[in-house]
């Protein structure tokens, strides 16, 4: 009787095992298929860092499959019926460009293969063109026509930061400058016909409308789109005859300046460091990428061995960065594993999740002075705030740029790609800095004559005197 039960048990177990192996086999095959690519087009390339990493996009389904079918129908019809042969790539690029543009977010952009390549190079510290990081900022303003006003939306091309030793730096471009025209061509920042629409609403005399439309047409004739302007500014001409400098019309603090700037390849050194007064370790990452992160670890070791009593981390003008290397650097400073929060969208609601270091921190346990200015942008801003909130640290300088977008880069099979804002960084305590910027503890407006040199850098001097006060206290 007992053996019968035993045998029965064994059979049931065996059958259960067989069932499970069937289950697993399918999953294995499915996963293998998924890895081998199949129809997978989109892959995360950098800064995934979503704490709960999700299934790749090829398995994500659109909530309305009928829309995908519609797209497919139209594509096939055009491919088969259009009067001339069409390039499928061109159609894809056109549609993705439009889709991402419809999000109306400067940080979510389609990248053509050459732009995508440029993007990758910039992340490696090889910046083409004038050597500045540019962004498009939206501004709501009013249009004045006669004694009436109408709302007007502007898209302005702004310099976030200039790379060290770049043509832009030599030409004197500054973080915060607006580029209004290139070689006399107006960079289209607003609808030039808005005035006419308003005049028509006001039933202004025909002649006045005609003149306004003449003006608008003239203005438009001699203009370039923002995307074209960015392309021109971030390309190093290969042809000698195109190599002449660009004449930029720049708006800075209400003034209009003419600036002549060359275009060349700027190679940015990932990190510079030195000991100040034999006691303060000064670290200046020029970007926050993998190379900078490696060098940061080495430099920190050297400085500590040299007897550093405090650290200065100079993030002024750091506008190129990736989240992962930045977190690696943070793990040598922060005393907690969680360094920030990220706000993200689920359906129609917003949630937050912690932003954690990839491994437990190994902090240097030294007081840290962080130097920032308007040119500290995005990941650098997050880092400054994280250091402030997870270590014995103070922030010196001016408020940062104020772009808290957490951005993913996606790559498509043909070498094109796109960026997408997937979240918004917040401080550990939930403090938001989007558009406001990270505020310094000690505000120092004076610009350095010699950056990183005591005696020529007022922000650095304030930082060092704070470090001294920390040393006395301990």
Partner 1 sequence: MRERGRAWVYTLLLMPLLFIGGFVVSEAYAVLTYSSPSLLRDSLRDLTRRETLEPTDAFRSALAEVEAHYYGKPPAIDKLTYTSIDGMLGALEDPYTRFMDPDAFRRMQEDTTGSFTGIGALLEDAPGGARIVRPLPNSPAQKAGLQPGDIIVAVDGKSLERVALDEAVRLIRGPRFTEVKLTIRRGENEPFTVTLKRDLVESPTVDVYLEDDENKIYRIWLQNFSEKAPTLLDRALRQIKQEGGRAIILDLRANPGGLLDSSIEVASRFIPGDKVVVSVVGRQGLLDQKSTLRGRYANLDVPIVVLINGGSASASEIVAGALRDHKVAPLIGEDSFGKGLVQTVIPIPPNTAVAITTAKYLTPNGTDLNAKVVDGKRVGGLKPDIEVKNPEDWRMTEEDKARDKQLQKALEVLRDKLHATKEGNGILRAQGEAEVNR
Cβ at position 15, least distance to partner 1 in Å: 5
What is the SS3 string spanning the chain?
CHHHHHHHHHHHHHHHHHHHHHHHHHHHHHHHHHHCCCCCCCEEEECCCCCCCCCCHHHCCCCCHHHHHHHHHHHHHHHHHCCCCCCHHHHHHHHHHHHHHCCCCCCCCEECHHHHHHHHHHHCCEECCCCEEEEEEEEEEEEEECCEEEEEEEEEEEEEEECCCCHHHHCCCCCCCEEEEECCEEECCCCCCHHHHHHHHCCCCHHHHHHHHHHHHHHHHCEECHHHHHHHHCCCCCCHHHCCCEEEEEEECCEEEEEEECCCCEECCCEEEEEECCCEEEEEECCECHHHHHHHHHHHHHHHHCCCCEEEEECCCCCCECHHHHHHHHCCCCCCCEEEEEEEEECCEEEEEEEECCCCCCCCCCCEEEEECCCCCCHHHHHHHHHHHHCCEEEEECCCCCCCEEEEEEECCCCCEEEEEEEEEECCCCCECCCCCCCCCEECCCCCCCCCCCCCCHHHHHHHHHHHHHHHHC
CB of 386 to partner 1, least distance (A): 19
CB of 445 to partner 1, least distance (A): 32
Closest CB to partner 1 among residues 46, 418 = 418
Min CB(344)–partner 1 separation in Å: 6
Phi, psi of 440 (to 5 degrees): -75, 150
Give whichever of 23 and 465 is closer to partner 1, judged by the CB atom.
23
Q: Closer to partner 1 at the Cβ: 146 or 307? A: 146
**Closer residue to partner 1, CB minimum distance, 390 or 411:** 411
- Which CB atom, from 79 or from 139, has the smaller least distance to partner 1? 79
Residue (93 or 174) nearer to partner 1, CB:
93
Residue partners of 445: CB distance under 8 A and separation at least 6: 398
Report the residue number, 19 or 51, with the smaller CB distance to partner 1. Answer: 19
CB of 122 to partner 1, least distance (A): 22
Spatial separation of the C-alpha atoms in residues 427 and 404, rounded to whole Å: 10
- Indicate the residue among 69 and 469 with the shorter CB distance to partner 1: 69
Nearest to 132 by CA among 163, 107, 106, 156: 163
In the complex, minimum distance from the CB of residue 45 to partner 1, in angstroms, rounded to a whole number: 12
User: Closest CB to partner 1 among 436 and 443?
Assistant: 436
> Smallest distance, Å, CB 66 to partner 1?
9
| CB closer to partner 1, 63 vs 238 | 63
CA 472 to chain centre: 40
Q: How far is the CB of 167 from partner 1 (least distance, A)?
A: 27
At closest approach, how far in Å is the CB of 109 from partner 1? 12
As measured in angstroms, the least distance from the Cβ of 40 to partner 1 is 8
């Amino acid at each position: 009787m007992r053996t019968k039960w035993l045998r029965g048990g064994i059979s049931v177990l065996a059958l259960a095992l067989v069932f499970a192996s069937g289950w697993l086999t399918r999953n294995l095959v499915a996963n293998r298929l998924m890895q081998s690519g199949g129809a997978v087009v989109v892959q995360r390339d950098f800064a995934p860092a979503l704490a709960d990493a999700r299934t790749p996009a090829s398995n994500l389904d659109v909530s309305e499959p009928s829309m995908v079918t519609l797209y497919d129908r139209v594509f096939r019809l055009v491919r088969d019926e259009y009067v001339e042969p069409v390039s499928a790539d061109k159609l894809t690029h056109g549609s993705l460009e439009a889709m991402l543009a419809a999000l109306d977010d400067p940080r979510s952009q389609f990248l053509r293969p050459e732009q995508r390549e440029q993007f990758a190079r910039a992340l490696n510290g090889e910046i083409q063109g004038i050597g500045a990081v540019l962004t498009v900022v939206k501004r709501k303003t009013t249009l004045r026509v006669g004694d009436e006003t109408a709302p007007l939306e502007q898209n302005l091309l702004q310099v976030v930061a200039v790379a060290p030793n770049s043509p832009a730096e030599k030409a004197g471009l500054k973080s915060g400058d607006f580029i209004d025209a290139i070689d006399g061509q107006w960079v289209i920042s607003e609808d030039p016909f808005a005035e006419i629409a308003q005049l028509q609403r006001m039933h202004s005399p025909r002649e006045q409308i005609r003149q306004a439309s003449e003006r608008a047409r003239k203005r438009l004739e001699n203009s370039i789109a923002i995307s074209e302007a960015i392309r021109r500014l971030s390309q190093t001409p290969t042809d000698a005859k195109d190599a002449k400098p660009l004449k930029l019309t720049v708006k800075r603090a209400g003034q209009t300046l003419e600036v002549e700037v060359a275009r060349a390849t700027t190679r940015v050194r990932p990190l510079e460091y030195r000991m100040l007064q034999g006691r303060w370790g000064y670290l200046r990452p020029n970007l926050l990428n993998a190379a900078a992160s490696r060098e940061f670890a080495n430099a920190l070791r050297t400085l500590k061995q040299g007897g550093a009593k405090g650290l200065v981390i100079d993030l002024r003008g750091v506008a190129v960065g990736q989240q992962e290397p930045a977190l690696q650097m943070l793990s040598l400073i922060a005393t907690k594993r969680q360094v920030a929060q990220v706000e993200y969208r689920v359906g129609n609601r917003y949630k937050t999740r912690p932003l954690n270091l990839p491994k437990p921190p190994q902090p240097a346990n030294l007081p840290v002075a962080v130097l920032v200015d308007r040119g500290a942008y995005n990941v650098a801003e997050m880092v400054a705030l994280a250091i402030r909130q997870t270590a014995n640290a103070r922030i010196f300088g001016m408020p940062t740029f104020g772009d808290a977008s957490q951005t993913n880069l996606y790559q498509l099979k043909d070498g094109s790609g796109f960026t997408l804002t997937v979240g918004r960084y917040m401080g550990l305590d939930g403090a938001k800095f989007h558009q406001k910027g990270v505020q310094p503890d000690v505000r120092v407006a004076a610009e350095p004559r010699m950056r990183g040199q005591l005696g020529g850098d007022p922000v650095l001097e304030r930082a060092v005197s704070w470090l001294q006060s920390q040393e006395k206290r301990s």
